[in-house]
Structure 1
Amino acid sequence: MALLGGQLVITLIMVSIIQKLGSHCSIAKWVLCSTGLKRYLYPTNEELKNLAGIPKEKHKKGKHPENGKVPKSFQIPRNLDITLETAPVSTLDVIHLKFYSDFQWLLDFSIYGTMVYIMTEVQLLCHIVPLNLYHVWCCLVIGFSFKVLVTLWVQYFKGEESIGERSTCIVTGFLYLLIAMMILIIDENTLELGLDNAYTSFNHTASIFMKNQGLSSSGPASKLIVKLCFAVLCGFFGSLLTFPGLRVSKMHWDALKYYKDSKILLLLANLSYVSPLLLASLWIKPISRDYLTVRIFAGATKPIMTPSAFESLRLIAIVVAVLLRFALMPVYLQSYLNLANQKLEIQKKEAGRISNTEFQKKVAAVFYYLCVVALQYIAPLIICLYCAFMYKTLGGYSWEGVYKNLDSEECPAPEPLPEPKTFINDEEKTIAQTAHEFHLALSTMRQIFTIEVFRGIFGLATWWTCFTLFSSTAMGMLYQSYFKSV
């Protein structure tokens, strides 16, 4: 109860921080407005007329243009020599952007969730508590990230102009479904996701729990059905990350071109790009665990690492990779904003004419979708980070290389709930009594969802997120290199 009370105090502190400082101190606003991002400004109608040699319209004497009247459209050559001016991105510019509120809420709330997680880790001093309030924060952050990705994904299924994007999402979804089905049949000695142990533990504990409740059951669904459900979820998640991966690969391709003179930045960018592949390889047993925890090299008396230290290495590597990508976020966003100038250079090589409004929309659209691109960049990273947090705490691991040993004891009988007290009204029910009942309900769930079950679920979630982060960007890089060669 004391631990639960401490968690309640931390939650109340964070809620007050969100209410008081959320509107004045925003990490999302700082990323967009205080990291040196520059947007491209489209030329006005007068500037376009001067460059194209179009004479200005003379107003008749005594008549003035009506307020709010849209100026007439005119045509300009596509190969017109135009130089776009730049301006720093300010707060007044971003508050009107599409999905800005979603980006600000998601990034800021994930930062607050990370603060809750750190505060709780310090408070618990590495004692494993299978279910606690900071897990609720983690689930909320993951849920909000999924909601944002689904919202962006649904946009491709609206309107007749997005037929190509819609078909791409469907095709990649089925492709990832096929890949997930092949991965889930790989033996645990090769790819250690922990699903087999998770199914065995859940089947055992669920059967005992149902017998204790007086229900006759032979256990949950078969392993084939369970893995098929996981494969469907993996395929859907892969479809969600299709266009975010294509976008990140395009920004990475452009960043390598714009920052080719900075060797350190290029090194960090390339390391950030391949980091999901390196993380996914840590779950391949022959090239990771066996190499680091079993093999004894010449001149040594024991392996490089212990199994517990290897588990901690995987978790720390995920945190470092996510932090590196977050640190490079302004570089990638600036590479995206430079797309306006790229479109202009491509247009100069085309023949024909274009209207002034169409040209201005082409330049303005790049900055208009800045927050959409930022969400596509940050949302998958947040999911990866918080899946790792859940994998660490619910899986019984630690940051110091010590983890909780699994026991094979049978599921104990559920703790009986105390006799309910009679209250005159609901106000007499104290917070402590509510917390106690909530704690008993969670204790009952702990009898079914053991550490092995959580290791299997979040081990798969963490590994699949890392895998799709790399595979989606790899497809985008192949796409970029193909069109570059053509």
Structure 2
Amino acid sequence: MALLGAQLVITLVMISVIQKLGPHFSFARWLLCSTGLVRYLYPTDAELKQLASIPKDKLKAKKGGKGPQNGKPNVETFHVPRSLDVQLETAKVTRLDVIHLRYYTEYQWLVDFTVYTVIVYTVTEVYQTWFPLKDEVNLSMMWCTLVLLFSVKLLLSLTVQYFKGEESVGERSTCIVMGFTYLLISMVILIVDENTLELGLEDAYNSFNKSASAFLTKQGLNSSGPASKIVLKFFIALWCGILGALFTFPGLRVAKMHWDLLKYYRERKMIQILLNLNFALPFILIIFWIKPVARTYLTVRVFSGWTQPLLTPHGFETLRILAVVLAMCLKLVLMPSYLQAYLDMAYNRTQEQKKEAGRITNVEFQKKIAAVFYYLCVVTLQYVAPIIMCLILSFMYKTLGEYSWGGLFKEPPDPNECPLTPPNDKNTIDPFSSSESIAQSAAEFHLALENLKSVFSAEVFRGIFGFWTWWCCFVYFATTSVGLIYQSYFSTI
């Protein structure tokens, strides 16, 4: 109970921090307002008239015209050449600029709550190093679960926006097609042999089926298993298709920003190498789950001059988790650069418009510039939500899968040599105690809880979160790759 008490203290402290310091210190706000992001200001009507050589008195409202409607003055509309040489002014992004943006509250809550979750998880892991977890519930996993729910909810809400209105027919079709495409791909992946792609689902199903059957038998119910393998894999594939649809436009957006960054740094090869490495890291993570390429090469093969493989099986699992964490941290570090590439779209739009013929209204021209900054938090959510999901899933994969961060240097202790629950006479109920009925009820509840926990063993969690982590990395790389191919194709044309 000592660890549970310490976790409760940590949780209460973090809740107090959220209430007291959250409004004043925000990591999410710091990412937008203190990393040097620059936005572009749209030209005013007076500046457009001056550049287009339009007399100011020519467009004044005629006498007897319509006055203000609903308390709002009429917007003056006039046409200017598309090839107008407009020089956009810049300004640093400040707190007052972003506080009114769409989805800013959701973005701030997701990022800040993720930071609090990482702190809780880190403190719990450090504390657990000296006081190992026995029968207590790891409260940090509840924090991680909330982060996953928030991330999926926000990605779902962003995707739903593409299904509203009549102007987003192409976006709706893209989401639906990509969802069914990933559904088909996941069905193919789920039938791949575990000796080739070690997702851990077979071991998880066998462990869950065996434990669930034993649990149902203890409850007096005859059952050979809770569900068939085909049914479970169908629902897993369905969830994979939904995740693929949710990751579609975030991946396309990241690919567009990555392509713009490569063009901006075309003369700086080292930065291009770093950007391409950052882009290819999810593919490297995918390879870690291909057994002949990764596990067999690192844990079975003995190189010349060595007496044993490079890594132990447990060390390989630790390396795989650390690789996911480091890859996601690198993406977070490069996040301001990608956001600046998005903000530079306003400048790029004006440069492309100068090559076009015809005329455009002042309102349309100003909206084209202002819309880029208006959707900054939407783009930020699309960038950061998949990264947060992969990071939190790796934490849950490590903890619930009963791995250790030091697996690269030492093997975990044998549970047979150091039993987690040694015999203790204090657990025996005293029949002469006045609280016999309460103690007996508590013991029965504890026994039922332990039986239920045995159904979800470490093998089950390894299969669930190992596959979920791998699939998120796979979908992230697949969607960004499709977006990069799209950008390269149309830029060539």
Using structure 2 for the length normalisation, give the TM-score.
0.90
RMSD: 2.8
Identity %: 58
Partner of 2:192: 186
Tell me whether 1:460 sits opposite 2:467 in the alignment.
yes
Rounded Cα–Cα distance in structure 2 between residues aligned with 1:310 and 1:459 = 13
Partner of 2:482: 475
**Residues 292-331 of structure 1: matches in 2 within 5 Å?**
292-331=298-337
Distance change (3 Å), C-alpha of 1:436 and 1:74:
farther
Question: For 1:354, what is the secondary structure of its paired residue?
Answer: strand
Rounded Cα–Cα distance in structure 2 between residues aligned with 1:444 and 1:476 = 48
Counterpart contact for 1:36–1:88, Cα < 8 Å: yes
Q: CA deviation at 1:217?
A: 1.3
Rounded Cα–Cα distance in structure 2 between residues aligned with 1:264 and 1:366 = 29
Counterpart contact for 1:156–1:162, Cα < 8 Å: yes
Partner of 2:232: 226
Question: For 1:153, what is the secondary structure of its paired residue?
Answer: helix
**Residues 301-380 of structure 1: matches in 2 within 5 Å?**
301-380=307-386
Tell me whether 1:108 sits opposite 2:112 in the alignment.
yes
Residues 304-362 of structure 1: per-residue CA shift (max 9 Å, x gap): 11111111100111111011000000000000000011111111111111000010000
Counterpart contact for 1:128–1:396, Cα < 8 Å: no
Partner of 2:126: 122
Using structure 1 for the length normalisation, give the TM-score.
0.91
Question: For 1:87, what is the secondary structure of its paired residue?
Answer: strand
Counterpart contact for 1:128–1:393, Cα < 8 Å: no
Distance change (3 Å), C-alpha of 1:108 and 1:233:
same
Tell me whether 1:98 sits opposite 2:98 in the alignment.
no
Distance change (3 Å), C-alpha of 1:312 and 1:418:
farther
Distance change (3 Å), C-alpha of 1:41 and 1:4:
same
Aligned residues: 468
Rounded Cα–Cα distance in structure 2 between residues aligned with 1:49 and 1:209 = 78
Residues 223-280 of structure 1: per-residue CA shift (max 9 Å, x gap): 1111111111011101100000000000000011112344433222111100000001
Distance change (3 Å), C-alpha of 1:448 and 1:70:
same
Q: CA deviation at 1:399?
A: 0.7
Counterpart contact for 1:395–1:454, Cα < 8 Å: yes
Rounded Cα–Cα distance in structure 2 between residues aligned with 1:435 and 1:381 = 42
Partner of 1:446: 453
Question: For 1:287, what is the secondary structure of its paired residue?
Answer: coil
Rounded Cα–Cα distance in structure 1 between residues aligned with 2:414 and 2:283 = 29
Rounded Cα–Cα distance in structure 1 between residues aligned with 2:395 and 2:205 = 22
Rounded Cα–Cα distance in structure 1 between residues aligned with 2:41 and 2:430 = 68
Tell me whether 1:269 sits opposite 2:275 in the alignment.
yes
Distance change (3 Å), C-alpha of 1:236 and 1:382:
same
Distance change (3 Å), C-alpha of 1:404 and 1:201:
farther
Aligned partner letter, 2:197? L
Question: For 2:5, what is the secondary structure of its paired residue?
Answer: helix
Rounded Cα–Cα distance in structure 2 between residues aligned with 1:297 and 1:28 = 47
Determine which of 148, 152, 175 is the counterpart of 1:169. Answer: 175
Question: For 1:86, what is the secondary structure of its paired residue?
Answer: strand
Rounded Cα–Cα distance in structure 1 between residues aligned with 2:488 and 2:101 = 31
Distance change (3 Å), C-alpha of 1:213 and 1:438:
closer
Contiguous gaps of at least 5 residues in structure 2: 417-426
Counterpart contact for 2:252–2:479, Cα < 8 Å: yes
Counterpart contact for 1:210–1:217, Cα < 8 Å: yes
Partner of 1:388: 394
Q: CA deviation at 1:444?
A: 3.8
Question: For 2:455, what is the secondary structure of its paired residue?
Answer: coil
Q: CA deviation at 1:375?
A: 0.2
Question: For 1:241, what is the secondary structure of its paired residue?
Answer: helix
Distance change (3 Å), C-alpha of 1:452 and 1:13:
same
Contiguous gaps of at least 5 residues in structure 1: 408-414, 424-428
Distance change (3 Å), C-alpha of 1:440 and 1:42:
farther
**Residues 418-437 of structure 1: matches in 2 within 5 Å?**
none
Question: For 1:349, what is the secondary structure of its paired residue?
Answer: coil
Question: For 1:286, what is the secondary structure of its paired residue?
Answer: coil
Rounded Cα–Cα distance in structure 2 between residues aligned with 1:477 and 1:12 = 45
Partner of 1:18: 18
Distance change (3 Å), C-alpha of 1:438 and 1:27:
farther
Partner of 1:81: 85
